[in-house]
């Protein structure tokens, strides 16, 4: 007993007081579309089809990058002859829809085959400002309610589970945000689902969803949960992304997402649930700076947790 106390005193407090300030060494690729020539080398190198190049007209080319399908292998970074792709360091990559996780750029192609950036397509999500405001309010108010989470492995390789487990360790300590894991969906507010839903798990996931009381929130974790990832969709063994089976409220991409990214996504989901519990409530603050599509730097989605901590 004394040894345990002595060891605890020696170890001190490990919990990271600002878990959202430490940046990971690398994250999702960021394309500098101003330098991009839409040559398509990155798309050819991408193992998951996260980067797509198409030609909607003879003098147009379209390049899109989907974080939902990206496994952060950085093959595109090495493949780009223009050095227009770099590894970003953001982890606040949670979104309300798959489309929000996609950057798209349209290029004009001249007679000599040179590409010039014409426009970027932005897809802001529904209710983004409202949810962000609620989240900030909630953090400021020291989380009056807690969030009970049931994790569902619908066919994951367990990489995502390792990172989810890390959110509960003394460093990230998700319980300080009022978030707890529970054993039964009947006790849960939120389902945290990983994996490309395998055919064997499809019915189990549907039943778990039905067993969770309203207003339930579903969060898809990992490239597999967001889009089928490296395993693809509609194969003999897997249905694909979680939204092919049950409605998804928040997407947390990555292969696997870092604990901070999962924590950030859960806080975003907390805002979604809050909005459902009080659908007539008014947002009290404007949409956070940085929410929305960014070509460089911040990811095209929600930098909510970091903004909330700063508030
Ligand atoms: S980092 Fe993502 S977008 Fe780039 S090649 Fe790998 S999977 Fe494709
Ligand atoms: S996203 Fe990556 S780590 Fe997570 S289940 Fe799929 S392959 Fe595994």
With a 6 Å cutoff on the Cβ, whether 238 touches ligand 2 is no
**What's the pLDDT band for 100 if we cut at 50, 70, 90?**
confident
Whether 70 is in the pocket of ligand 1, judged by its Cβ within 6 Å, is yes
Q: pLDDT tens digits for 13-57?
A: 778 777 777 777 788 999 998 899 999 999 999 999 999 999 988
- pLDDT greater than 50 at residue 165: yes
Residue 283 structure tokens: 């947002």
Q: Are 209 and 236 in contact (CB under 8 A)?
A: no
178 alpha carbon to ligand 1 midpoint, in Å? Answer: 34
Look at ligand 1, atom 7, and give the residue with the nearest C-alpha: 70
223 lines ligand 2 (CB under 6 A): yes
Closest CA to 108 of 173, 33, 170: 33
Q: Which two tokens stand for residue 133?
A: 């405001």
Check whether 125 has a pLDDT greater than 70.
no
How far, in Å, is the centroid of ligand 1 from the Cα of 74? 5
Q: What distance in Å separates the CA atoms of residue 248 and residue 223, rounded to the nearest whole number?
A: 14
Pairing of the two strands 217-221 and 250-252: parallel
Residue 132 has pLDDT above 70, yes or no: no
Alpha carbon of 251 to ligand 2 centroid (Å) = 14
Q: What is the C-alpha separation between 19 and 94, in angstroms, rounded? A: 16
Most confident of the ranges 114-123, 142-151, 157-166? 157-166
Closest CA to 178 of 145, 140, 149, 134: 145
Q: Assess whether pLDDT exceeds 80 at residue 207.
A: yes
- Kindly calculate the radius of gyration of the chain based on its CA atoms and give it in whole angstroms: 20
- Per the confidence metrics, is the pTM higher than 0.85? no
**Residues 6 or more apart whose Cβ sits within 8 Å of residue 165:** none
State the pLDDT at residue 141.
Answer: 52
The 3-state DSSP class for residue 288 equals coil
Cα-based torsion angle of the residue sequence 72, 73, 78, 81 in order, rounded to the nearest 10 degrees: -60
- 303 — pLDDT class (breaks 50, 70, 90): very low
Find the DSSP H helices in 113-258: 128-140, 159-167, 199-211, 222-227
Q: Taking 70 as the threshold, does the pLDDT of residue 200 lie above it? A: yes
Mean pLDDT of 231-240: 92
The answer to whether residue 119 scores a pLDDT higher than 90 is no
- The residue to mutate among 230, 238, 251, 257, having the most atoms of ligand 2 within 8 angstroms of its beta carbon, is 230
Q: At what angle do helices 259-277 and 128-140 cross, to 10 degrees?
A: 100
Provide, rounded to the nearest whole percent, the portion of the chain with pLDDT above 90. Answer: 49
Average pLDDT over residues 111-134: 67
Nearest-CA residue for ligand 1 atom 2 is: 70
pLDDT of 274 above 60: yes
| Closest to 222 (Cα-Cα) out of 160, 166, 163 | 160
Q: What are phi and psi of 183, to 5 degrees?
A: -90, -20
Q: Is the CB of 229 within 6 Å of ligand 2?
A: yes
Give the pLDDT confidence score for residue 142 in this predicted structure: 44
**According to the model, what pLDDT value does residue 64 have?**
92
Q: What is the pLDDT of residue 181?
A: 95
**Mean per-residue pLDDT for 281-292?**
35
Question: What is the whole-number distance in angstroms between the Cα of residue 223 and the centre of ligand 2?
Answer: 6
How many angstroms separate the alpha carbon of residue 105 from the centre of ligand 1? 17
Q: Mean of the per-residue pLDDT values for the chain?
A: 81
Q: Which ligand is nearest to the CA of 261?
A: 2
Side-chain-side CA neighbours of residue 132 (13 Å): 28
Q: Is the pLDDT of residue 307 over 70?
A: no
Contacts of 127 (CB under 8 A, 6+ apart): 96, 275
């Amino acid at each position: 007993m004394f040894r345990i106390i002595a060891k605890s005193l020696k170890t001190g407090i490990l919990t990271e007081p600002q878990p959202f300030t430490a940046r990971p060494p690398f994250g999702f690729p960021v394309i500098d579309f101003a330098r991009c020539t839409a040559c398509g080398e990155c798309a050819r190198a991408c193992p998951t089809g996260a980067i797509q190049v198409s030609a909607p007209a003879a003098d147009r080319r379209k390049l899109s990058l989907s974080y939902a399908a990206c496994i952060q292998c950085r093959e595109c970074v090495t493949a780009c002859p223009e050095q227009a792709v770099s590894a970003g360091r953001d982890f606040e990559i949670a979104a309300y829809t798959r489309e929000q996780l996609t950057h798209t750029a349209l290029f004009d192609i001249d007679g000599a085959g040179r590409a010039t950036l014409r426009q970027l397509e932005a897809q802001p999500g529904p209710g983004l400002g409202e949810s962000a405001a609620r989240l900030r309010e909630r953090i400021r108010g020291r989380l009056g309610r807690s969030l009970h989470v049931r994790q569902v492995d619908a066919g994951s390789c367990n990489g995502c589970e390792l990172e989810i487990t890390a959110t509960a360790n003394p460093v990230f300590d998700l319980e300080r945000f009022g978030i707890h894991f529970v054993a039964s969906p009947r006790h849960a507010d939120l389902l945290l689902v990983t994996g490309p839903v395998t055919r064997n798990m499809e019915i189990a996931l549907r039943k778990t969803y039905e067993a969770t009381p309203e207003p339930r929130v579903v969060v898809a974790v990992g490239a597999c949960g967001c889009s089928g990832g490296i395993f693809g969709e509609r194969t003999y063994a897997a249905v694909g992304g979680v939204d092919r089976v049950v409605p998804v409220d928040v997407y947390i991409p990555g292969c696997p997402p870092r604990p901070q990214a999962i924590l950030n996504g859960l806080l975003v989901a907390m805002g979604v649930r809050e909005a459902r519990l009080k659908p007539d409530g008014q947002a009290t603050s404007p949409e956070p700076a940085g929410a929305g599509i960014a070509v460089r730097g911040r990811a095209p989605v929600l930098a909510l947790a970091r903004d909330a901590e700063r508030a």
